[in-house]
A and B are shown apart, each in its own frame.
Chain A
């Protein structure tokens, strides 16, 4: 099993790791056993290497390195040593000259010194002797001066002359000696120069030789090293080649072996196949013969008269011959029959052939027709296709343009909406302002009217006046519904409230009912919500839950509920109450179904209402909520009753039911939600139905009865006014008359008192009786 597989796997890699791959088991082998073995081997090798590293580095390392260090290394070392020696010797040879000159110089110096010393000594001696001689001579001069005898003097002079000459001669001798020495020195100098030039020549020669030598040897050594390397390389190549060839041979041998094996096997199989085939043939033949025999027998049996079969087995021996004759007869008959049938069949077949030929011809005609038709249809199809493509293109273009238009329109629409919103806001604002202005004006007027009324009442009628109290008088600004609170706000409020409630216990219980506009018991609501909160934790995100852990219980509930509401799509107060109601209804329904006593009708009603809620559109929502509110009231009352009957009723809602309820609720809520978008716009529209009513009411601040009163008062007062004016006129008249009277009286008095009167015979005074003043 293994060898052929591994061989096949190895074939491509054979060039690279021939020896190792064949000999050692591979880690990448298919066989697990082999892989294990390979790993073991690897570990063992590693351990071995480590051990050797630890132990034998000091001992083996050097030996190995020396052994390993190949010819090239040896050659290198050899060359290096040789060259170093050469350089050393060469420099020594060259510097030898310097050293020799140095020592010669030293010797010369020593000699020179010696000679110098001798010379100086000699000179000093000479100086001394000559000085002595000179002294002698000078002393003799003194002697000579005392000499009187000419002969003596001459003699002495002669001797003096001789002495002087001797002295001079000495000096001259010395001078000549020194000059001689100088000459020899000059010669020496020339010689030295020559010697030095010779030395320099020698030095140069040696240097050149050295350079040449060094270059030569360097070249040689380089050549040698290269050669050594080359040889080593060759050896390496040869050894590697040998190894390679050996491995290749091994591989070839193995392959050959495999091939022979395979061929043998193939031959074996062939033989086996042949044998099998022969055997099969034989078997087949025997079976065939047997079957044929069987068939013959059977035919015999079949051709026989049916009744014969029953009789055949018994008289076989008796009437064997007879039966064979019979059989032959029957066979002949049958042959005849067959022949007739054959004839008939032949004729039939011929006829059929003719018919078929005809049909064939027809069919060929039809085929050609069809072909033509097909061609035509193909043409049409192509035409249609092209048309279709064209149309597609056209429609695409159209579509594009239309989409563009659509986009533009959408943009425009959006802008329009924006503008509309803007205008709506502005309109609202304007409306509000105008409203306020008008309202102010109206209020002013109303106030004036009230003032007037008050004056009339108090001053004219003497009645006490009370300011009428109308609802619309307190209104400021446009009439609008209270904004709906969001569900969470309510919940928050509620929770807060219940908290307080808990603190205040039962004292605040009645108040709590007032807080909820829909008159649902706060407790039940809270409980339902708690239940919801506990049960539908799956609607809350896990992150939020982890965040909620450290919070207070109430806050926790609040946030949870918020999340749940957002998941359920409960947004407004109404939704919340709807939910609560739904719960209650569900419970009631369940209760009714369980109790089945009196709340049967109620339940049906609730069912109806449920259907209504689910079916009802948003437009009806407001009404419905109101209706529901009303219903709920009754419902709550009913509940209360129920509560009384069954005290733990709010807890009746089994936690398992919560999900069902929620599902039902969401299903119910979903439909209205779909049709929510359009009404929302309408929602912004304020209903102005009450406006006219309001303004109408403002006009009727002063009721008609009061107006009638005013009218009557007016007419009466007018009359009163007329009377008063008349009276005033009369008074004026009266006063003027009085004045005239007084004037006249004064005149009279005057006249009476005048002199004329006295002059007169009859004084008027006597005539007249002056009225007393």
Chain B
């Protein structure tokens, strides 16, 4: 019944044209068709009279089809199409994907809504296109390159980051994060959180205190201001490789309170335990979190003899000589390749201990001591260490109150060392003579590619000449890279340098 109606509907629009066509055609060859076909065409017949024998009159059928340019079988949706539509509509309740043919899978995935609950989609869908849509819908700016080129990974990492960022201990249900864990454990490799909110009571209490004055500070020390404990989460993520944490509060505005920025001992201990238990961790960053010597030592102690850790970043903290000593110990008890202690309070003793560790280290590739205060004593110690070290390629000593003695020793190092590719001595007081000595050392060096001497009181002439030498070295390195048969060692040295830079 339905079919007849639809066909009649399909046929109807072509009526008038059919009749005209018939007239003309019958006029053209009446002998062949006779008067019969002309009858129905002249009288406005209902669809029924035509339908009983549509195949009987071949000519008429053909004409009808030819007349209606929009009529085609394609209008009728295929059964597979209908099924796929149905599956898409009911995907939340009945997710069917793996059983289908690849092309149908593709079709389904292209039409699935990105709002589906993660519990359904997380472990079922691997299609990047779907996750691309999910990401694009949630965030306007997406750098998939920061997440290993995988949209799915990006989605889960950013989703988790979002949850962690807005987690308020005590008020938010911890199940929110722990429920997500089984869904995202296989996809999250990097956790990057740049704010940890403190418990909510304190802001509530603080608000009146804030208005009154800073006199209530003493009281406020008392209640715990611990942040979210990462232990469970870190233990649950089986592929975690990078942990990038900042114990900080963003956009606090006028609610500013020193307490908001506290990295408590409990936080520190729990974090240390968490990273100690995580054996897949390769990169650990804890920056801008007011980590002092004691906390740094707690964390570093937990990292001793870690199996895979390669990069440790504790920049922009309050680490002093004791913390530096701990880091020096860590250097020879792990596979650390990159150590960043920029903008801390390391002085000469800390630098000396680092230099001592560095002298026989074979792992460390990059050391960053920018904006510390190691002064000449520390600088000399490091230079001595570099005379024996055969691994370090990048050294940043910018802003360390260094002066001529260090430069003298460094110039000797430059003549000997063949692994260093980048040295930064900017913002020091090298002085004119030191610059000359460095130039002398540079004249014997064939491997250094970068040597930053800006704002370090070096004569422009020597800086220019050093620049020329560096240029020559760079050209040589380029030639070597183009013809890799000559020096394999230099290329291996170049590789990490590039990645670090």
Contacts and interface: CB of A to CB of B under 8 A. Distances in A.
Interface of A: 84, 92, 95-96, 99-100, 102-103, 105-106, 109
B208 to A, nearest CB: 23
A145 B454 CA distance: 71
Contacts of A99: 398, 426-427, 452, 454-455
A494 to B, nearest CB: 85
A99 B396 CA distance: 12
Contacts of B426: 99, 102-103
Interface hub of B398, B401, B427, B474 (most chain A Cβ within 10 A): B427
A80 to B, nearest CB: 9
B175 to A, nearest CB: 40
Contacts of A84: 474
A96 B453 CA distance: 11
Contacts of A92: 454
Interface residues of B, number: 12
B342 to A, nearest CB: 10
Nearest to A104: B427
Given A99-B398, A99-B426, A106 B371 contact: yes
A106 B370 contact: no
A497 to B, nearest CB: 87
B371 to A, nearest CB: 6
Contacts, number: 29
9 contacts: A84-B474, A95-B452, A96-B454, A99-B454, A100-B455, A102-B370, A102-B426, A103-B426, A105-B399
A105 B455 contact: no
A105 B371 CA distance: 9
Contacts of B373: 109
Contacts of A109: 373
Main secondary structure of the interface of A (DSSP, over half): helix
Contacts of A103: 399, 426-427, 455
Nearest to B470: A88
Interface string B380-410: 0000000000000000001101000000000
Contacts of B399: 102-103, 105-106
A92 B454 CA distance: 9
A99 to B, nearest CB: 5
Given A95-B454, A102-B371, A106-B401, 7 more contacts: A96-B454, A99-B398, A99-B426, A103-B426, A103-B455, A106-B427, A109-B373
B226 to A, nearest CB: 29
Contacts of B454: 92, 95-96, 99
A-B pairs with lowest CB-CB distance, top 10? A103-B427, A102-B399, A102-B427, A99-B426, A99-B454, A106-B399, A103-B455, A99-B455, A106-B427, A99-B427
A92 B500 CA distance: 17
Interface hub of B370, B455, B474 (most chain A Cβ within 10 A): B455
A751 B414 CA distance: 189
B247 to A, nearest CB: 22
A102 B398 CA distance: 8
A105 to B, nearest CB: 7
B253 to A, nearest CB: 14
Interface string B321-332: 000000000000
B476 to A, nearest CB: 14
Contacts of A100: 455
Interface in B425-445: 426-427
A99 B399 CA distance: 9
Interface in B353-380: 370-371, 373
A106 B426 CA distance: 12
A574 B401 CA distance: 130
B300 to A, nearest CB: 25
A102 B424 CA distance: 13
Nearest to A103: B427
Interface hub of A95, A99, A100, A105 (most chain B Cβ within 10 A): A99
B233 to A, nearest CB: 33
A606 B218 CA distance: 156
B126 to A, nearest CB: 36
A412 to B, nearest CB: 60
Contacts of A102: 370-371, 398-399, 426-427
Contacts of B371: 102, 105-106
Interface in B447-498: 452, 454-455, 474
Nearest to B345: A109
A92 B453 CA distance: 11
Contacts of B370: 102
A26 B319 CA distance: 85
A105 B372 CA distance: 11
A78 to B, nearest CB: 14
A514 B370 CA distance: 128
B497 to A, nearest CB: 15
B406 to A, nearest CB: 15
Nearest to A106: B399
Nearest to A107: B427
A107 B88 CA distance: 65
Nearest to A84: B474
